[in-house]
Structure 1
Amino acid sequence: MQKISQRIFGASGSVKRPILFIILALIISGAIAPSFLTSRNLSALLVSTSFLVVVTVGEALVIMTGMIDLGVESILASGGMLVAFLTVMHHISGSVSIVLTLLVGLVVGLVVGLLVTKGRIPSFIVTLGTYWGLKGIALLFNGGNYISPNNGEFGFSGLAGHILGIPTLVIIMIVIVTLAQIVLSYTPIGTWIKSVGSNELSAKTVGLNVDALKIATFMISGVLAAFAGVLIAAWQGSMYPTTGAGYSLQAIAAVILGGIPFTGGRGTIVGAAIGALIIGLISDMIVLLGLPSLYEYIFVAIILVIAGLQARAAGSGIVK
């Protein structure tokens, strides 16, 4: 039975499983709501899900090492509010504001990584603190009110434009996923990251700097979450301190749907990105069918359970 499962779904961590999931989801969605498969709707789906995909890439790298990052949605919100605050309230150029925002995301990731590795505090606790702390900081910008440019658009609104008719946000999403997958699959750093999640003790034995690798993944996650905040601000044309609510759990769910086990060590960035697209697809279908938004949580929970059961079956012979 296990061999049949692996033949159909691929080995544990294989990208084949999320690809099959999204193909099945597309077929079902197209059958239920024919308007779903129109080019306009699919383009809108890719754009609206691009922010979650960017956040999920960072989350995937953290989980690949056996850690977790619950603070990404608050980094997104505070990053978006910061870049909007700098450009609108202090009239700093869009490019400088973006660089400063990404640096803040990098520093947040560095602090989190140091607390987890050097402070020996579980990543769950540290990033839960990041979640609440940065949520409060996001509310401090502009007194908890949204920030919108006076002239109708931010100085970095071009990020939400088009290049040769293709949404820039989709291009950025594809580039980030591609680069992350190349690093994970074809560089020593990617092998080291997976080694840490697969067997941390063995990784230390062969001389890998495990702490540095964990810190690096948290820093990447922080930068990508802050960048997602910049992108969503450009797309919305305004920024709210509560923007991105639920993204932390959605990103974690996307990683699991994408075939990366919660203990890390194997999987693909492409798979995690597909997992994020599946969650976006569910949200889109709920809107098209006119269902209450609460159904999104129910459907995602069902799919997660199915994915979890299948992953357990596929990986039952693996001891970690």
Structure 2
Amino acid sequence: MGPFARTLEDFFTHRGLALPTDQAERLAAGRRKRRIVAVPDSLRSAVAAFDASRMRAQDRARRASTRPRSDHTLETALAILRDLALFLTEHCGKDDWALADVHDIEAFLATLPKARKRRLVVLRQFFRFARSQHLILVDPTRTLTAKEPNGFRGRTLTLDQQRELFRRWTTDERVHPHEALMGMLALLHGASTSEVRMLQITHIDSVAHTVKLGKRPHPVPLDSASWTVVQRCLSHREAWPTANPHVMVTKGTKAGRSPASTAYLSHVLDDCGYAPRMIRSTRLLDLVNTMDPKLVAAAFGMDPQATLIYLADRVDPGRLPAPPKTAGATTHRS
């Protein structure tokens, strides 16, 4: 489906004149198929059966109105299994899932230590499925652990870097409005790329100077600098003849009603040199360590456990009281 066909689909479905097509489902099926085809022949059938069972579970969850796994989650799992299958055949010389042992899995997880926890979750699910289908006798992931600390291990900005970015997004007219919007909302209000991506015109209150971000229970009040950036982004949007309800409108979305792609949001801050996650983590880390983490979780619409990882296990020296002076600590010479 080309851009013109997508525009027509948005037009007719928005007005209730037609049902949406299955374009997204067919694209997702193609991505899953490419990942399965990349698995070596001897190991492919088990991965295909695992994918089929997950698709049935997704369909059941949709019909039961529960929370089905997203297409991205299913595709990521297949990519991990593809990488494991290639690792077993190329580095371990094994062409059967039944031959994989705990040492092979441990060696595979060691190739990407930072992704160990996420990979291990997928591998446990796959080998449990394989054992239930009598494809293997022993689950090689049964005794493995994630071995990851729960604390925050990401990178953050220094105070000087934050000041530099603030000046860039509030004074430099050459900066693209989308970059300034994403940056300021992340730097001052801890907004995620998803929250900025789904931000719509109706979420902005021009009287109270507030915006509705994601699943946050209350509108977020904006300071004068952030409000100026929002107005600049709206002015950039008005220059395009579009009926798209979102604040961020790109060349690919101006003719429809869908939000900007996640790929666009992931690169919108490339010119400033810092990733959106790094900027947002800086704000969350500061809020959690100066306020009650439960209050931060409630304000951001997050799970209370999610904010605890940002809680540092140290106290800044500047916040400690001055040590008491001891008697006789100073002497005077005559």
More helix by share: 1
Please report the TM-score for the alignment, with normalisation by the length of structure 2.
0.22
Q: Which has the larger radius of gyration?
A: 2
Please report the TM-score for the alignment, with normalisation by the length of structure 1.
0.23
